[in-house]
């Protein structure tokens, strides 16, 4: 129990606190600008996560990293910088889409390269790389569109829930390290929730989405490629992350904000339960088979 509490403190509580404090520091500038989002969001998220990554896995031993999970430390930094760029390029969507595609393709290639020619032979290697990179890019782009159209709490709350629930899915899929890193993402994104609630019109914004989708997306890519986690489990997490789209339905546009938020949270919880329950049962069955 003491070990678990220490893991929660160093991997979730303290990183969330770091992110929240940095967000508060930027609060004055955010309020002065009168904008619903702020360039400091991706940087604050990156700072909190990097601390958690250091405490969970340590620092990368060199560059380029030799382990797929070590790449997450590097990508967290790159995603923070790219999130700042996406915020400043808010009016240039095509440029952001192209830059995002290049970033995803390059990172996917670097991370998945050890599998190519070994586990993945011939054209199958390129098919896996392109498929995972394209899926990552499409999900990231959908999240960015939602961030533009859905204000307030739904998006950061849902992404925090999905990262947290996904952590359990990864744990029960036999990936403890990715599970903890997903939990760290949940913690730092969750730190944004009270500030967005306080701000009322606050948004995660393209910059915050860029960091969250960049890091969480790579966690899922690593899970599929290296663990491997069945694709349907990651697909279910993707579906759960898109529930804020409910706010765009005509029937919900006139509903109270809290009603929409509750609907998004409930739908997310239902989808997460639908993937977590069979994953846990399979985990227990597998452990029983080996006599654990």
CB proximity list for 74: less than 8 A, separation 6 or greater? 60, 63, 64, 65
> 37: pLDDT confidence band, cut at 50, 70 and 90?
low
Residues 18/48, Cβ–Cβ less than 8 Å:
yes
What is the per-residue pLDDT across 8-22, written as a single tens digit (0 to 9) for each? 888 899 999 999 998
pLDDT of 34 > 60? The answer is no
pLDDT of 232 > 60? The answer is yes
* Class of residue 232 by CB neighbours under 10 A (exposed 0-12, middle 13-18, buried 19+): exposed
Residues 64/110, Cβ–Cβ less than 8 Å:
yes
Mean pLDDT of the chain: 87
Look at the pTM and tell me if it is higher than 0.85: yes
pLDDT of 207 > 90? The answer is no
**Domain total of the chain:** 1
Give the closest residue to 213 by CA, choosing from 126, 147, 286.
147
Q: 75 vs 82, 212, 238, CA distance in Å?
A: 10, 11, 20
Give the integer Cα–Cα distance in Å for 137 and 260.
27
What is the per-residue pLDDT across 98-144, written as a single tens digit (0 to 9) for each? 989 999 999 999 999 999 877 788 888 999 999 999 999 999 999 99
pLDDT at 53: 95
Which string of b and e fits 246-272 if b means at least 16 CB within 10 Å?
bbeeeeeeeeeeeebbebbbebbbebb
DSSP 1: -
pLDDT at 87: 77
What percentage of the chain has pLDDT greater than the value 90? 56
> 225: pLDDT confidence band, cut at 50, 70 and 90?
very high
pLDDT at 93: 78
pLDDT of 35 > 70? The answer is no
pLDDT of 188 > 90? The answer is yes
Give the closest residue to 75 by CA, choosing from 90, 88, 62, 65.
65
Residue 150 vs residue 167, higher pLDDT: 167
pLDDT of 64 > 90? The answer is no
Give the closest residue to 47 by CA, choosing from 79, 69, 90, 94.
79
Give the closest residue to 107 by CA, choosing from 140, 84, 142, 133.
133
pLDDT at 290: 52
Which domain range does residue 234 map to? 2-289
DSSP 13: I
Give the integer Cα–Cα distance in Å for 263 and 253.
12
């Amino acid at each position: 129990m003491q070990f678990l509490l220490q893991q929660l403190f160093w991997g979730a509580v303290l990183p969330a606190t770091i992110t929240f404090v940095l967000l508060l520091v930027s609060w004055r500038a955010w309020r002065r600008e009168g904008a619903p989002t702020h360039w400091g969001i991706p940087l604050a998220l990156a700072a909190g996560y990097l601390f958690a990554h250091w405490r969970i896995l340590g620092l990368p031993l060199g560059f380029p990293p030799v382990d797929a999970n070590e790449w997450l430390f590097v990508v967290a930094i790159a995603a923070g910088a790219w999130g700042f760029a996406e915020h400043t390029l808010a009016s240039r969507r095509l440029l952001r889409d192209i830059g995002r595609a290049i970033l995803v393709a390059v990172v996917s290639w670097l991370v998945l390269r050890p599998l190519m020619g070994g586990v993945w032979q011939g054209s199958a290697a390129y098919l896996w790389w392109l498929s995972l990179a394209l899926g990552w890019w499409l999900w990231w782009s959908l999240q960015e569109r939602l961030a533009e159209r859905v204000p307030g709490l739904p998006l950061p709350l849902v992404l925090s829930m999905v990262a947290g629930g996904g952590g359990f899915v990864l744990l029960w899929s036999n990936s403890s390290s990715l599970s903890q890193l997903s939990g760290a993402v949940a913690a730092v994104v969750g730190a944004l929730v009270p500030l967005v609630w306080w701000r009322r019109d606050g948004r995660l914004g393209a910059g915050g989405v860029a960091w969250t989708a960049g890091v969480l997306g790579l966690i899922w890519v690593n899970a599929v490629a290296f663990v491997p986690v069945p694709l349907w489990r990651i697909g279910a997490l993707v579906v759960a992350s898109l529930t804020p789209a409910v706010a765009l339905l005509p029937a919900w546009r006139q509903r109270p904000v809290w009603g929409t938020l509750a609907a998004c949270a409930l739908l997310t919880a239902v989808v997460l339960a639908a993937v977590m329950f069979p994953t846990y049962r399979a985990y227990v069955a597998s452990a029983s088979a080996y006599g654990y």
